[in-house]
Structures are given as C-alpha cells and as structure tokens.
Amino acid sequence: MEGFKPFGVPISDLEPVILFFEEYEALRLLDYMGMTQLEAAQEMAVSRPTLTRIYEKARRTIAEAFVEGKAIFIEGGDYHTDEFWYRCEACHKLLISEKEMVSCSYCKSDKIRPLSKKSIKMDTQQQEDGPGFCICLHCNTKINHQPGIPCRESECPQCGKKMIRENSYHHQLYLKKKGIKNENRNSQ
C-alpha cells in the first residue's frame, strides 16, 4: 500500500497530501497496536514530545485528505531502519528483509523497488542531473527545485496548487495512470 484515494475519483483529478513513513508508524503504533505514547516513542527511538508532534501532524494530514477529498501518498520523511524495505512492482507486496534482495520472495519477480534509505543507492545519472524540478500536475508548470524545500511545500505560481517532484515515484505513478510516457512529458 502506497496510499489512499477517495472512492470513484480518478487519481489524475486529485491533489495529493504526503503522509511520511514516520507519521504512518506513529499512527500504527498508537492507534492500531494500542501502545502508549511512551512505548511508541521508545519503539521509534524518539522522545515522547517528538512522537506527539509526529502523531499530530499525521492526524492533520489525514483530516485534510478526508475533508478536502485529497489522495494520501505514503512516502519519505526522516526515518531509519536496520532492515531493507522493498515494494514488489509485480504483486505489490511489501518486502522487509535483513539482507538486500534482488527478487520478490512471494512471486519471484525481479521488479522490486527500494523504499528504505538503506536500500536506495544514488545512481550517477541522478547526481549529474542536479536538483531537478517541481511540477504542477494541474497546469504543467515547471519550476526549479529548491534544495532543502520539498516540492509539496511549494505552490504553483500559475494556479496555486501544490507541486510534486518531477520524476518522483508518485509522478511516475501519475503519468502511468494517465497513460503518458515520461519521455513525452519531459519534452513538453
């Protein structure tokens, strides 16, 4: 699972909000597992006040998505794990392993995508391309990405909607759902 969307509305018509992995984990530990804030803070290796801030941010993000009918993307954030996390692109299973994986343990596909920082290796092409762009899914406006500022915190100068990082996983997912090839999108 990489997120949620309102029932009956195409993803291309939705503005997303981002729920960070650590926010998801706080919700899972507190609301699903029923831990106390102290237990959850210890599990996440953060202070109790930090856990409270993470949890409140998660609740506000989910409330915004529910009230305003937005999609929820679960990604990124500031988290650390000693495990390797992957998502199988063939069967969509979440894979967690103590060792690096090259194929899915369920369907044996080699189409697995790394999710944890430990699993992700910067490729040289990404380093050569520089900081990249933030784009608007609504009006196709493209602006230079400002290092240190997530694109989702930038508003489109044309229409005021939230921006998304060009060629990010969610941008690729959006393009795939719209049936647009990435090469064509980049040349526009």
Report whether 106 contacts 91 (CB < 8 A).
Answer: yes
DSSP 18-64: EEEHHHHHHHIIIIIS---HHHHHHHHTS-HHHHHHHHHHHHHHHHH
185 pLDDT tier (thresholds 50, 70, 90): very low
Tell me: the pLDDT tens digits for 39-66? 999 988 889 999 999 999 999 999 999 9
Nearest to 152 by CA among 177, 129, 135, 167: 135
pTM > 0.75: yes or no = no
Instruction: Give the tokens for residue 62.
Output: 């989910």
Residue with the bigger pLDDT between 149 and 22: it is: 22
Residues of the chain with CATH 1.10.10.10: 1-80
Number of separate helices (H) and strands (E) present in the chain: 6, 9
Q: Answer left, alpha or beta for residue 28, where phi above 0 means left and psi between -120 and 50 means alpha.
A: alpha
Q: What is the pLDDT of residues 1-23, one digit of tens each?
A: 678 888 888 877 888 888 888 89
Sequence-distant (≥ 6) Cβ neighbours of residue 44 within 8 angstroms:
22, 25, 26, 29, 51, 54
3-class secondary structure, 11: helix
Report, at the CATH architecture level, how domain 1-80 is classified: Orthogonal Bundle (1.10)
